[in-house]
Amino acid sequence: MRSDFSRLFWFGWFLAMLLVPAGMYAAGMRARPIEERPMSRPPDFNTARLFDPAYYGALDKALVEQNPAREMAIKAYARLGYFLFGDVTGTQVAAGKDGWIHLRQTLLGDCIPEERMKSQVDNLAALGNALEASGKSYLFTVAPDKEAIYNDKLTPAQAELSACRTANREQLDTLLKQSGMEYFDAWSALRKLRAEIAQPVYVPYETHWTEYGSTVFIEHIVKLFAPELNLGPLVEIEPQTKTPDLGRMAGMYFQRDFARVRFDRGGHQNRNSNQVPHPEPGRPFVHNTSTSNGAPLSSRRVLILHDSFMYEAWDQVSQFFGDTLYMHWDSLTPERLATLVSTADVIIIQTVEREAFERLSTHFETDAYASAILASSPELEAEAETFWPRPPSDAP
């Protein structure tokens, strides 16, 4: 027999648990955006909307996302599953071997017909020829998906599912090598680096290469475009604490220390912070570098078409090049590229493997880019000048 007190205690506990989010809200705690997008807001109310089922869906979504207890719950559930069972939560990630997390997108996908891929590589090569014809240097490289370098971290099912991805990768690599383009085979370089050094070139909870991994790319472009400069010894600097992206996508949001490295030139200085965009919306990031110890910098203007893999590398790149300008694929158009290319000396085209085919399809389906670049004009060049930072000597 239970006493009234005991009964009321259980009912009180039940009610209290239901009221936890309301209590947190009353205590001033507020939910914050944790899904890389703005939080849903309650939809505007009017009587007519009461008849619209979508209204309730939107209201539900807003109530869910404004729940201050939700973030803790997501983290707790995701971490419990991961650390107890090696499971990951979420539809965009998959658990591999040894605690590695993979982006599902890098495992699934259709095989791309060779003819189709070849035609896009040919268009890319046409762009390369156009650049060379206008006296510029260029380089194309593909930043590998981590599964290409750490395929031993895939489960047998994941390896089976990613057969097409593997075939596409090998085909693209072969075609790029056959095309005669200036191409950096980052797959081979990173596999070699992984075998040579103790430090990881990719980590279990992050899609991007580590700073150690990015050094193969830095080393290659410096040797290619500024061979007169001495790279200097590779040294470790203060590690950086980050929230790895795959951990975030799996809802875990744990933090890890990431090793950071530099080719030690001593005394270089970025005039512009590497994460600050150009003041004009939609314009590229700029790096305007000077050195305090007089170490020489390449005077060539370097334009880099890039994605997020460059974030691990651009501090390093700007150690060697006085003027670097970063253009993300997301805001790339033939006109914009033509404008920037007209005044650049070096053009580096970098894309991550998982997006490579999509980007080649979008931007190099035709020879529009090459045509646009060849159509460059004095007006275009004058406009282009506004993109580049002022020379270091003019900077305050």
Partner 1 sequence: MVFSSLSFLHIFLPIILIATLLAHAAGRSAASNLVLLAASLVFYMWGIGASFIGILLLVITFNYVLGLWVDLNLKAGRRSRMAVTFSVICNVGVLGYFKYANFFVAETEGLRVALGFEPWLWTDVILPIGISFFTFQCMSYVFDIAAGRARAMKNPLTFALYVALFPQLIAGPIVRYGLVAEQLRERSITSRDLSEGATRFVHGLVKKVIIADSAGAIADSIFALPSGEITTTAAWLGALAYTVQIYFDFSGYSDMAIGLGRMFGFKFPENFNRPYRSVSITDFWRRWHMTLSNWFRDYVYIPLGGSRGGPGKTYVNLATIFVLTGVWHGANWTFLVWGIYNGLLLIIERITGIRNHADGATLSPLNLAARRLIVLLLVLIGWVVFRAPDIGYAMDFYTAMVVPSGFSLPAIVSLDLRTMDLMVVAIGLVIAIGVPTQVRGPEVYQGRLGAVALSGLMFAAFPFALIKVMAGTYSPFLYFQF
**Which residues inside 348-367 make contact with partner 1, applying CB under 8 A?**
352, 354-355
**Which residues inside 245-274 make contact with partner 1, applying CB under 8 A?**
245, 248-249, 251
Q: Which residues contact 179 (CB under 8 A, 6 or more apart)?
A: 121, 122, 124, 125
State the minimum distance, in angstroms, from the CB of residue 225 to partner 1: 25
Look up residue 319 and give its two tokens: 């150690």
Q: Which residues contact 254 (CB under 8 A, 6 or more apart)?
A: 79, 205, 243, 244, 247
Q: Does 310 bind partner 1 (CB under 8 A)?
A: no
Give the bridge partners for 257, in sequence order: 241
**What CA–CA distance (Å, rounded) separates 91 from 81?**
14
**What CA–CA distance (Å, rounded) separates 125 from 360?**
11
Nearer to partner 1, 266 or 282 (CB): 282
Span from 10-18, 230-238, 293-301, 331-339 in contact with partner 1 (CB under 8 A): 10-18
Instruction: Using alpha carbons only, give the angle 144, 146, 152 rounded to the nearest 5 degrees.
Output: 125
Q: Does 11 bind partner 1 (CB under 8 A)?
A: yes
Nearer to partner 1, 86 or 392 (CB): 86
Nearer to partner 1, 95 or 121 (CB): 95
Q: Does 101 bind partner 1 (CB under 8 A)?
A: no
Nearer to partner 1, 136 or 165 (CB): 165
**What CA–CA distance (Å, rounded) separates 303 from 280?**
17
CB atoms within 10 A of CB 289: 23
State the minimum distance, in angstroms, from the CB of residue 334 to partner 1: 22
Span from 74-82, 118-126, 175-183, 314-322 in contact with partner 1 (CB under 8 A): 74-82
Q: Which residues contact 189 (CB under 8 A, 6 or more apart)?
A: 216, 217, 220
Interface ranges with partner 1 (CB under 8 A)? 2, 4, 6-8, 10-11, 13-15, 17-22, 34-37, 50-53, 55-56, 59-60, 63-65, 67, 69-70, 73-74, 76-78, 81, 84-87, 89-92, 94, 104-105, 107, 155-158, 160-161, 207, 245, 248-249, 251, 307-308, 311, 352, 354-355
